[in-house]
Structures are given as C-alpha cells and as structure tokens.
Amino acid sequence: MGNWRFLAIAVSVAAATFGVGVWINLDYLFFAGYVILQYVVLATAWNILGGYAGYMNLGVSAFFALGAYTTVALETALKLPLPLTIPAAGVVAGVVGLGMGYLTLRLKGIYFAIATLALAVVAETFVTNWDYVGGSAGAYLLHPLRGPWFGSYTEYLFLLMLILATLSIVVARAVERSWIGYGLTAIRDDEGAAEASGVPTLRLKLFATALSGALMGMAGAPLPYYVSFLEPASAFNLGYAVTTIAMPMIGGTKTWLGPLIGSLLLATTQQVASVTISSEVNLLVVGVLLVGFVMLAPNGIVGWFQRR
C-alpha cells in the first residue's frame, strides 16, 4: 500500500473516531482519549529511533517536557495560540535531539542511552531555574471553557492530539518503508556491516533522533493547557519515559503497528485502572509489563502473530 493511500485510510479512521466521539459527546471520553492518543504519538515517535535503529532513548520525559515548556514560554512571551506552539515545540525538541545525537551517536548505543537519561535531569534543572516559565513553583495556563470553533476545549485538545497521532503514524510508516527505514534496520542489525555497505549511518541516526525528538516535543506541547498547571517535577516525570518505552516493547518494535497496539492497549488499561485502582499500582503494572515483555517476549505482541 502506498503512502498516500495509507494517509487517506488513516485520516478516515481518525475522522471516524472523532465522529463517534462527537456523537457520544461525553467530555470525559475526550479527556481520557487525549492521554491515550498522546501515548500513541510518544510510543510511535520513540520507536522510530528505538525500534527501527535500536538506539534507546531513555530521556523521553525530557523531550516531552521541553515541548510543554515551549508552549508555556511562547504563550507568556507572544501569546501564540496552540496550533503555532506545537510546531515550535517540535523544532525545539528536534534541535535538542540533534545536538545530543551529534555528541553521542558516533559511539556505541549505550552511551546515547545514558546521555539521554542524564539529559532528563539536566533539562529539569534548567527549567526549574528558569523563572520566566514559572521555575520550581510552576506555571498556570488556564484555557477557555469552549474550543475556538465548536465543542469544549477538551474536545479541541483531543482533536489536535488525534491529528498529531495520525501524522506520526503516517510518518513512521513512510520512514519504515523508505530507504531510510531500511538503513535504520541495517544499523540495528549490524552497524559495522551497514557502514561498510555504504549506509550513511551517522546521518540516518541523526535524522531519526531529530524526527523522534520533534514528535515527542509536539506531543508535549498541548500538555500545559490539558493540565492547566504545569510544574517541572510532574512534567519531567519518569513515568512518561517508562510508559512510552513499555508500549513498543509490549506491541513489538519492528513495525509501526507494534507501538500503536502497545500504546492503545496499555494506555487504555491505565485509564481504566487509574479510575478503579490507585495510581501507584498503575505505575507498578507498567514497570512489571516492561520488564516482563523485555524478558519473555522480545518481539512483542506483533511477534506472536509472525511465525517464521
């Protein structure tokens, strides 16, 4: 299936999802659906680098929170509306990814992973010290009750995240099936051999890091409006990183379908569990699932259906 046909199908599915949402017209559904879609974007974005190329980004919360704080900064400075801060957040997070990647991607993947983990701590330090965006006290970003065109503001945020999720899946699939995707897969399987066969490994890794970081930043951009009150400790919460990494691990990391399945399953379970059970137990479940799938099912759920 070509990319354009897939785009048409993805857009129809998204439109149908939104249509059903509008028909049910329950604000809580948009509220919970937003979080699920946010994880679809995060998991899909993470998988472009982590799944295709095998380079593990442990600093998901850093990219995500940088996106959120880009919105806070631009709202405070220029009163920019959300549809404009989302691409800006993508640029900021993408550039940070590119810079980090440039310094560490020439080495073994382990070093990149450690550096991203440390990045989360440093980015948090930086934002905590930056009083303009609220510093350690946090920032309020109150949204109007109504969306700009129709429905509630939550419905509007849901729609934006639905567009982002559709976009990231289409992009991830297009990358996967292009020469870039094949190059990234070659890097994952044997980087030395890939380099020797003429795959521009560093350039491909940098591209994947920047793209993946940019999508994560874009996923974080609407967060300040969604939570109304943003402070560094919750924006940089490690839970975002663990949950995001667990999703492709559960679904399967080799195709775009894996993170989609993993994120829909895990995020929906979490939404149900956080209402019915405590949030700590919720996090415990995510941790157990991550460790369990990594140990016992290296190819995830998608792997169960691919008999070779």
The site for another protein (CB under 8 A) is made up of 54-56, 58, 100, 103-104, 107, 109-111, 113-115, 117-119, 121-122, 125-126, 128-129, 238-239, 242, 245-246, 249, 280, 283-284, 286-288, 290-291, 294-296, 298
As measured in angstroms, the least distance from the Cβ of 91 to another protein is 21
For residues 159 and 286, which CB has a smaller minimum distance to another protein in the complex? Answer: 286
For residues 18 and 130, which CB has a smaller minimum distance to another protein in the complex? Answer: 130
As measured in angstroms, the least distance from the Cβ of 288 to another protein is 7
Both tokens of 205, joined, read 């890794």
As measured in angstroms, the least distance from the Cβ of 143 to another protein is 29
Both tokens of 23, joined, read 């028909």
For residues 146 and 203, which CB has a smaller minimum distance to another protein in the complex? Answer: 203
Q: CB under 8 Å to 235, separation ≥6 — which residues?
A: 61, 64, 65, 68, 69, 127, 220, 223
* Separation of alpha carbons 301 and 262, rounded Å: 8
Residues, the chain: 308
For residues 43 and 157, which CB has a smaller minimum distance to another protein in the complex? Answer: 43
- 54: phi > 0 → left, psi -120 to 50 → alpha, else beta; which? left
- Nearest Cα to 218, choosing from 64, 32, 37, 40? 64
Provide the 8-state DSSP code for 142. Answer: P
As measured in angstroms, the least distance from the Cβ of 48 to another protein is 15
* Separation of alpha carbons 185 and 53, rounded Å: 5
As measured in angstroms, the least distance from the Cβ of 117 to another protein is 6
Neighbours of 239 (CB within 10 A): 16
By the 8 A CB rule, do 167 and 219 touch?
Answer: no
For residues 122 and 196, which CB has a smaller minimum distance to another protein in the complex? Answer: 122
For residues 127 and 171, which CB has a smaller minimum distance to another protein in the complex? Answer: 127
As measured in angstroms, the least distance from the Cβ of 228 to another protein is 23
By the 8 A CB rule, do 138 and 229 touch?
Answer: yes
